Amino acid sequence: MNESLQTSYSGYPGGASLAAQRNRVLRNTYWLLALSMVPTVLGAWIGVSTGIVASLGAGMSAIVFLAGAFGFMFAIEKFKNSPAGVGLLLGFTFFMGVMLSRLLAAVLGFSNGATLIMYAFGGTALAFFAMASLATVIKRDLSSMGKFLFIGAIMLLVAGIANIFLQSSALMLTLAVIAIGLFSAFLLYDMKRVIDGGETNYVTATLAIYLDLYNIFQSLLAIFGIAGGDRD
């Protein structure tokens, strides 16, 4: 018990070492997260310019997305402790940028499309800073949230796949609103894990936080496109 107290209190050498490790993981996560935006933007630009995702059709693009995303995530987790893990993560963010291009192209088809994209980006940044700030002040353990958030994500994914065939704008809008709340909670949960030392690998931490931000941005973009798109 005495050893446990020593390692958890920053006044002892063990506690100071743990605090330094957590700060290092958090710092590396933020740096890698910022770097991951570069291939994401590049992939989105190439996707919009070429129209490669739009040419696949909704069904095929969904299959490519699921196969590519889960394949990348499996590989990233396997090599997360080596430099290859960083390379795979950046390749994954490029792929995700390409897959986002279908929605981006649709929004850019509106006369105010560029403005809507900036609104979505601003909303995502606001969610990030709000959850990051909240994660630093909340003292309670949030690890119990993980199971419920995961179940919610699975249900959301199933509903999203179903809507590929239903093509319901109302359902898409509803799912987008739910996704913003769900992945904002995920963002808080994932950042709190890093701050508390529950996640010690910055590649895995970056992957989790990137996916949270990606889903929030995509959902905001869908909402703004449906509710605020102007074709005049």
pLDDT of residue 205: 95
Over range 175-204, report the average pLDDT.
93
pLDDT of residue 16: 60
Confidence at 228, pLDDT banded by 50, 70, 90: confident
- State the greatest distance between any 2 C-alpha atoms of the chain, in Å, as a whole number: 70
Write the pLDDT tens digit of every residue in 62-86.
Answer: 899 999 999 999 999 999 999 999 9
| Gap between the Cα atoms of 52 and 68, Å rounded | 15
Element (H, E) at 29: helix 13-50
pLDDT of residue 33: 95
Over range 112-133, report the average pLDDT.
94
Burial 165-185 (b: 16+ CB within 10 A, else e): eeeeeeebbebbeebbebbbb
The yes-or-no verdict on residue 61 having pLDDT over 60 is yes
The yes-or-no verdict on residue 15 having pLDDT over 70 is no
Average pLDDT, the chain: 88
Q: What length does the chain have?
A: 232
Element (H, E) at 130: helix 113-137
Task: Please classify residue 81 by burial: count the beta carbons closer than 10 Å to its beta carbon, then call 0-12 exposed, 13-18 middle and 19+ buried.
Answer: exposed
